[in-house]
Structure 1
Amino acid sequence: MDFANFLIQTLNSVQYGLLLFMLAAGLTLIFGIMGVVNLAHGSFYMLGAYLAFSLSSRLGSFTAAILVGTLLSVIFGLVLERLLFRHFYHRDHLDQVLLTFGLIYIFEEARSLLWGDDVHGVAIPPLLSGSITLTENQSYPVYRLFMMGVCVLLAVGLYLLINKTRLGMKIRAGAFNREMTESLGINIKLIHAVVFAIGVALASVAGMIAAPVSSVYPGMGSSVLIMCFVVVVIGGIGSVRGALIAALLVGFVDTFGKVLLPQVAGMLVYMLMAAVLLFKPEGLFKQ
C-alpha cells in the first residue's frame, strides 16, 4: 500500500469512526444516564436519512434540510420520551428491550407507509461535490471532509455541554446519583427528556449527513445498530469519551481490515471487542 492509498484509508477510517461516534454517543448517554436499553436507536438514524431525502427535495437546500430535520428530531425525541420511555425507567431491562424491539417494527412500517420501500438517493450539494487532489490519479471527496467536520463540531459541542455548562453538571449529577439529585430540587424528568432528545438528534443528524454517501433504504437503521452497541461496549457504557475512542478504533479496524485482510474483515471488530473485554470487562473507560 503506497502513501496515497494509506492516506485515503486513514481518512475513511476517521470519517467512519466519527459517524459511529455520533450514533454511539446518543446510545451511551441514554443507557448510561437513563438506564434504558434502546434497541430502536438505529431507527433514529434511519429517520434522519429519510428526513434528509424528503426535506432536501421539498426545501431545495440540503443545509435547510439538516436544520429543519434536526429540529423535528428533537421534537420527536421529546414526544417519544414523554409518551413511552418515561414509563419504563424503573422497569426491568427485559421490558425495555421488548418495548424498543417493538418500536423497530413500528418505525419500519411507518417508514414504508410514508416513503415506500424503494431505495432513494440524496444529492450532494454542488458546493461540496468536488474532490481534493492527492496524487495525479487519486483524489478525496470534499463531502467526506464535510462529514468529518460536522462530526467534530458536534463532538466538541457535546463535550462542552456536558463538562462546561450547568445543564451538563445536572446531567452528570443525575447519572451519578438520581435520588440525591432529585433531593436537591433538580427536575430529573426534564433532564432525562433533554438527554433523550439529544440522543435522538445526534443519531438523526448522523443519518442526514450520511444519506448522500450511503443512500436511503429500508432497514438501514438495523445495519448500524449492532456496530453502535460494539462501540458502546468497547468504550464503556455511559462514557462519551470512551465512545469516541472506541468509535475511532472500530473505524480503523473495520476499514483497514477490509483492505488488508478481506477474508476475515467481518470478524476483526468483534475480535477487538473480545480482546478489550478480556482485559477491561467494563470497557476502556468507566462512566
Structure 2
Amino acid sequence: MTAILFIEQMLNGLGYGLMLFLLAAGLTLVFGIMDVMNLAHGSLFMGGAYVAATVHTASGSFVMAVASAVLLVVVLAVLLEWLLVRHLYGRDHLSQVLATFGVILVADDVAKMIWGPAPVMASAPQALSGAVELMPGLPYPAYRLVILAAGVLVALGLYALVNHTRMGMLVRAGASNRAMAEFMGVRVDRVFSLVFLLGAALAALAGALMGPLTAVQVGMGEEILIPSLVVLVIGGIGSVRGAFVAAMLVGLVDTIGRAFVPMALRGVLPPTLVSDLGPLIAGLATYALMAVVLAVKPTGLFPARG
C-alpha cells in the first residue's frame, strides 16, 4: 500500500462521511428536537436522487437538477408533515416507526411506477468529469472534491443556524421545554415544521449529490438509512456536532474495512473470498465502533441533552 493510495482512500472515506452527515443531520434534528423517529427520511434521500438524475438528463444542467430535487422533495415533505408527521407528535416511538415504515413501502412502489425497477443512470456534470492533481501522483476526481466542499459548507451553515441565530434559539427552546416556549409566545408547531423541512432538504441534497457515485434505484434510501442511524446513535441524538464527528468516523472506518483490510487478507485467503469479505468487514467494523462508543458513553459522543 502506497501513501498515495492511503490518502486517496481517506478522501473517499471523508466524502462518504460527509454525505452520511447530510442525511444523519436531518435525522438527528427531527428525532432529537421533535422526538419523532422518521424512517421515511431515507425515502426523501431516494427521491432527491431520482429527481436530480431525471432533471439532469432532460436539461443538462446539474445545478438545476440539484435545485429541482431539493425543491420538489421539500414540497413532498410539506405534504408528508401535514398529512402524517404532525399527527405523530407526542405518540410513542413504535407508532412513529410503523407509520413512517409504511411511507417507505409506498415510496418504493411509487418510484417503481414512475422510473421502473431498473436502476437509473446518473452522471456527474461534464465540467467536473476530470481530475484535479492534489499532489504529484495524486489525481483526484473533481466531482468528489465538490462533494467534500459541499458537505463542509453545509456543516458550517448548520452549526451557525442552530447555535447563532434566532431560529436556532427557538428550536432549542422548543426542544428543551415546549410548554414554556409556547407560554412565551413561540409557535413551536411552526418551528418543528421548519425543522422537518430542513431535514428533508438535507436528505434531498445528499441524494442528488450521491446519485452520480452510486446506483439510483429503488431501496437505496433504506440502504443508507441504517448507517445514518448508526451515526445518529454514535454522535448523540439531537447533536449536529455529534452527527458530524460520528459521520467522519463511520466514513473512515467503512473505507478502511472495504479497502485496506482485504489488502491485508489477500496473502492468506483466496481472492474470491477476500472480495466478499470487504463489505462484511466494513459493516462489522462500523457496528463495533458503535458498540465501543456506547460502552464508554451510552448517550453518544456529544448528547444534546447531556
Please, which moves more after superposition, 29-38 or 113-122? 113-122
8 Å CA contact retained: 2:121, 2:216 = yes
2:48 matched residue in structure 1: 48
Per-residue deviation, residues 230-269 of structure 1 (Å, max 9, x unmatched):
0000000111100000000001111012222234333100
Amino acid paired to 2:129 = S
Q: Distance in 2 between matches of 1:266 and 1:232?
A: 16
Partner of 2:303: helix, strand, or coil?
coil
Equivalent residue for 2:295, pick from 270, 278, 287 = 278
Gaps (5+ residues) in structure 1? none
1:159 matched residue in structure 2: 159
Gaps (5+ residues) in structure 2? 263-276
**Structure 1 residue 135 displacement after superposition:** 6.8
**Residues 186-265 of structure 1: matches in 2 within 5 Å?**
186-262=186-262, 263=277, 264-265=281-282
Q: Distance in 1 between matches of 2:226 and 2:60?
A: 34
**Structure 1 residue 57 displacement after superposition:** 2.2
8 Å CA contact retained: 2:47, 2:69 = no
Q: Distance in 2 between matches of 1:160 and 1:179?
A: 26
8 Å CA contact retained: 1:78, 1:194 = no
Per-residue deviation, residues 55-98 of structure 1 (Å, max 9, x unmatched):
11233211111112212222222221111100111111111011
CA root-mean-square deviation: 1.3
1:114 matched residue in structure 2: 114
Among the aligned pairs, what percent are the same residue? 49
Partner of 2:29: helix, strand, or coil?
helix
Q: Distance in 1 between matches of 2:121 and 2:97?
A: 32
Per-residue deviation, residues 131-186 of structure 1 (Å, max 9, x unmatched):
02357765210000011111111111111111111111101111111111111111
Runs of 4+ more than 4 Å apart: 134-138
8 Å CA contact retained: 2:129, 2:142 = yes
8 Å CA contact retained: 1:49, 1:204 = yes
Q: Distance in 2 between matches of 1:148 and 1:136?
A: 20
8 Å CA contact retained: 2:4, 2:137 = no
Per-residue deviation, residues 4-31 of structure 1 (Å, max 9, x unmatched):
0111011111101111000000000000
Amino acid paired to 1:249 = L
Q: Distance in 2 between matches of 1:149 and 1:138?
A: 18
Partner of 1:140: helix, strand, or coil?
strand
TM-score normalised by L of structure 2: 0.91
**Structure 1 residue 215 displacement after superposition:** 2.5
Q: Distance in 2 between matches of 1:74 and 1:266?
A: 31
Please, which moves more after superposition, 252-261 or 268-277? 252-261
Is residue 266 from structure 1 mapped to residue 283 from structure 2 by the alignment? yes
Q: Distance in 2 between matches of 1:138 and 1:164?
A: 38
Q: Distance in 2 between matches of 1:259 and 1:71?
A: 36
8 Å CA contact retained: 2:161, 2:167 = yes
8 Å CA contact retained: 1:4, 1:134 = no
Partner of 2:140: helix, strand, or coil?
strand
Q: Distance in 1 between matches of 2:302 and 2:133?
A: 38
Q: Distance in 1 between matches of 2:140 and 2:178?
A: 47
8 Å CA contact retained: 2:52, 2:68 = no
Amino acid paired to 2:301 = L
1:88 matched residue in structure 2: 88
**Residues 18-33 of structure 1: matches in 2 within 5 Å?**
18-33=18-33
**Residues 31-180 of structure 1: matches in 2 within 5 Å?**
31-133=31-133, 138-180=138-180
Q: Distance in 2 between matches of 1:7 and 1:285?
A: 28
Q: Distance in 1 between matches of 2:59 and 2:133?
A: 32
TM-score normalised by L of structure 1: 0.97
8 Å CA contact retained: 2:170, 2:191 = yes
Q: Distance in 1 between matches of 2:136 and 2:182?
A: 62
Partner of 1:261: helix, strand, or coil?
helix
